[in-house]
Amino acid sequence: MRNSSSDRQRHRWQQFKFRLPLILYLCLEAGCSPAPPEPLRIGTNVWLGYEPLYLARELGYYDKQPIHLVEHAAATEVIRAFRNGTIEAAALTLDEVLLLAQHDQKPRIVLVMDFSNGGDALIAQPELSELEDLRGRRIGVESTALGAYMLRRTLDHAGIDHTDIQVVSLPVDKHERAFLNRQVDAVVTFEPVRSKLLKQGAVELFDSSRIPGEIIDVLVVRQAYLERQPHVVDAMLDGWFKALAYHESEPATSAAIMARRHDPSVEEFLDALATLHIPSLQENIQQLSGPAPALDKTAKLLQGVMLEHNLQDNPVALDSLYDTRSLETLTE
């Protein structure tokens, strides 16, 4: 009897061994094991307000996450990469997000990165002393929504029509050289080029502090990625706010790290950073959540100006742009 029982046990074990691969396969298919996290590739160009992302990376906050920062020379390249699907997230100005949204790219704003309060400007040659002097002049500007918007608002304040100037399309990495070689009489630019040109004798005729709340940088993530990988987005935002806390406690050390891509001194970087307001976690929640998000007011104003001046073809449903799930997770 013992031999018969032993034979039956051996037979069952053999059957189990043959079935084990099938069991494991079915388990995986059923979700018994979590899917590996997908890379979160974040596209940025060089801008002060994006530096906390790079600070978070340098401090090791993303070491255990599939988060990759992808540097581009200009915002146009970032937008192209997002449209082509080679990045899942992008640091952009709000006007650029509106343009992406109207082409059904499904960007979702998960973070307000900064408000420009002087960091964007129109810089002119020394002989130009007021906005009226721009008539008939060559003005360099990047071929982006932000460049067009900033130029339009400058001309509005000057009372000058677009036909009264010569627009020179100029990538941001050519701004400094073109200005110093006098290929343009003025340039719509931003930090760090703004500070570099001012140090060399240029004059500032207009900056974003005169249109408060209109130039805003945000971080967008593709909706499909948000649905598949919310925990990676949570980790990315957690690293961002940890980097801000580190900067608050160690401003000189953090500025030295963040200044590397801009090449100024620590003092110059801190001065330039003062032209921005970087909102806290609570401010972000106020900006993006609730039945009437604070960002809505600015977005409606911005969209109205863009539609009026033919910078945007069709209106975008603003309430579909915001996703605060990751921000709210950080408050739990």
Q: How confident is the model at residue 35 (pLDDT cuts 50, 70, 90)?
A: low
Is the pLDDT reported for residue 16 higher than 50? no
pLDDT at 160: 95
Give the CA angle between residues 59, 117, 94 to the nearest 5°.
Answer: 75
Please state, rounded to an integer, the average pLDDT across all residues of the chain: 89
Is the pLDDT reported for residue 2 higher than 50? no
pLDDT at 30: 46
Q: How confident is the model at residue 105 (pLDDT cuts 50, 70, 90)?
A: confident
Q: Where are the domains of the chain?
A: 40-115+215-330, 120-210
- The string of DSSP letters for 122-144 reads EEE-TT--SGGGGTT-EEEE-SS
Mean pLDDT, range 107-120, rounded to an integer: 96
Which residues have a Cβ under 8 Å from the Cβ of 287 and sit 6 or more positions away? Answer: 112, 279, 293, 294, 295
Are 148 and 141 contacting, i.e. CB atoms less than 8 angstroms apart? yes
120-210 has the same fold as 40-115+215-330:
yes
Strand-pairing partners, residue 92, are 218
pLDDT in tens, 190-220: 988 999 999 999 999 999 999 988 899 999 9
Task: Return the minimum-mean-pLDDT range out of 32-41, 62-71, 153-162.
Answer: 32-41
**Residue 206's closest CA among 155, 241, 159, 163?**
155
286-289: Cβ within 8 A, 24+ apart: 287/112, 288/109, 288/112, 288/322, 288/323, 288/324, 288/327, 289/322, 289/324, 289/327, 289/328
pLDDT in tens, 269-282: 999 899 999 999 99
Are 90 and 107 contacting, i.e. CB atoms less than 8 angstroms apart? yes
Is the pLDDT reported for residue 29 higher than 70? no
pLDDT at 14: 52
pLDDT at 74: 87
CATH node for 40-115+215-330: 3.40.190.10
pLDDT in tens, 40-79: 999 999 999 999 999 999 999 999 999 999 999 888 899 9
CATH number for domain 120-210, candidates 3.40.190.10, 3.40.309.10, 3.40.50.300, 1.20.1250.20: 3.40.190.10
Name the pTM for this structure.
Answer: 0.81
Is the pLDDT reported for residue 18 higher than 70? no
| Cβ atoms within 10 Å of 63's Cβ, excluding its own | 9
Give Cα separations from 78 to 69, 82, 96 (angstroms).
12, 6, 10
Question: What is the rounded distance in angstroms from the CA atom of residue 218 to the CA atom of residue 93?
Answer: 6
pLDDT in tens, 208-253: 999 988 899 999 999 999 999 999 999 999 999 999 999 999 999 9
Question: What is the rounded distance in angstroms from the CA atom of residue 57 to the CA atom of residue 259?
Answer: 14
